[in-house]
Amino acid sequence: MHSPTLPPALLSALRRVMRPLVRLMLRKGVTYTVFADLLKEVFVDVADREFRLDDKAPSDSRISLLTGVHRKDVRRLRTEDDTASMALPENITLGAQLVNAWTSNSPFCKTAGQALPLPRLASVGGDVSFDALVAQVSTDIRARVVLDEWLRLGVVRLDEQDCVHLEAQAFVPQKGFDEKAAYLAHNLHDHASAAVHNLTAQGQPFFERSVHYDALSPASVEVLRETVASEGMQTLLGFSRLAADLENGDLSSLDPRQRITIGLYFYTEPNSPTAPPP
């Protein structure tokens, strides 16, 4: 039986939120014991960083009281190296910048959001080439290195004329588990952070909305899937162009910097066979 001080609705929500993550862990061999040890680290780290009194580092005893983690474990975990950075890996950050330039900047796109096929070499395409695209964003990395990595991830393809085609209208790797895992961490963290803020914090809420229906045929679901993929991507590209323009205008500002995430997702699954008919 749960303590009466713990909201049953919150425990029910946490149980449901954890289900897809547990499904992933079981598929990848992450056992309960491994996850429990990982969860201890997170509990201790969050309590240490975010639950301070008068901005003073809490004692091991206070963290143990807050989290339920044994004080010996608290002491051990606080002396170990910090957890991995929340920042996206550099290759993903650079990739997002390149895709934004390819889909937004002349002469690399036909219209906003429609990336042109680019000759691979500057010796062939000049300023309208994949070499030129990479050089516009970074002079520290060779275009061939980027191309090889993107071919591995399925972000681009090469045709018979040695032109590079963008396969996704945003930097979303089709292959590469590590890159997909980085997006999982980034996107789910920020989505969950917005929802937790709206549930627990005062002040202006973050935009966090969805629509849901439960009596659609498979054919109707496919119509929605394709519409979200096309129109949703155009919406996100529009936000990306606006954010890039605003960021460029902020270069001379002395205001403190903030990061943002804007997301859109689609999910479907069969209704439970035990559910009553509509």
Residues 185-215 have pLDDT tens digits of 889 999 999 999 999 988 899 999 999 999 9
Residues 71 and 98 in one domain: no
Residues 155 and 112 in one domain: yes
Residues 109 and 127 in one domain: yes
pLDDT exceeds 70 at position 91: no
pLDDT given at position 197: 94
147 falls within a domain: yes
Q: Quick check: 244 and 104 in contact, CB under 8 A?
A: yes
The two tokens of residue 98 are 């390149």
**pLDDT tens, residue by residue, 115-135:** 899 999 999 999 999 999 999
Q: Quick check: 206 and 197 in contact, CB under 8 A?
A: yes
- How many domains in the chain? 2
Phi-psi region at 135: left, alpha or beta (left = phi > 0; alpha = psi -120 to 50): alpha
Residues 75 and 112 in one domain: no
Handedness of CA 53, 57, 60, 64 (dihedral sign): positive
pLDDT exceeds 90 at position 93: no
Q: Report the C-alpha gap between 31 and 115 in whole angstroms.
A: 43
Residues 95 and 35 in one domain: no
Pseudo-torsion of CA 139, 145, 150, 152, nearest 10°?
Answer: -170
Return all residues near 182 (Cβ < 8 A) that are at least 6 apart.
88, 89, 92
Q: Quick check: 102 and 167 in contact, CB under 8 A?
A: no
Residues 67 and 120 in one domain: no
pLDDT given at position 273: 63
Least confident of 18-32, 92-106, 203-217, 225-239: 92-106
Residues 54 and 19 in one domain: yes
Residues 70 and 138 in one domain: no
Crossing angle of the two packed helices 90-104 and 233-249, in degrees rounded to 10: 100
Residues 96 and 122 in one domain: yes
Return all residues near 240 (Cβ < 8 A) that are at least 6 apart.
100, 103, 104, 170
Cα angle: 24, vertex 80, 14; to 5 degrees: 35
pTM above 0.75, yes or no: no
Q: Quick check: 131 and 143 in contact, CB under 8 A?
A: yes
pLDDT exceeds 50 at position 236: yes
Find how far residue 106's CA is from the centre of its chain.
Answer: 27
Q: Nearest to residue 45, comparing CAs of 3, 76, 18, 89?
A: 76
70 falls within a domain: yes
Residue where a domain terminates, one of 137, 166, 195: 166
Residues 118 and 103 in one domain: yes
pLDDT given at position 68: 94
216 falls within a domain: no
Domain hosting 50: range is: 13-83
Give residue 82's identity as a one-letter amino acid code.
D
260 falls within a domain: no
pLDDT-based confidence at residue 276 (cuts at 50, 70, 90) = very low
Residues 23 and 53 in one domain: yes
223 falls within a domain: no
- Number of helices (H) and strands (E), helices first, in the chain? 11, 3
38 falls within a domain: yes
Residue where a domain terminates, one of 49, 67, 83: 83
pLDDT given at position 96: 78
pLDDT exceeds 60 at position 85: no
37 falls within a domain: yes
Q: What is the mean pLDDT of the chain?
A: 87
Residue written as token pair 């936000």: 239
Residues 66 and 94 in one domain: no
232 falls within a domain: no
The two tokens of residue 183 are 């997006």
Radius of gyration of the chain (CA): 23
Backbone torsions φ then ψ of 83, nearest 5 degrees: -70, 165
Q: Report the C-alpha gap between 57 and 47 in whole angstroms.
A: 10
pLDDT given at position 162: 94
Residue where a domain terminates, one of 83, 103, 124: 83
**pLDDT tens, residue by residue, 152-185:** 878 899 999 999 999 866 666 666 777 788 888 8
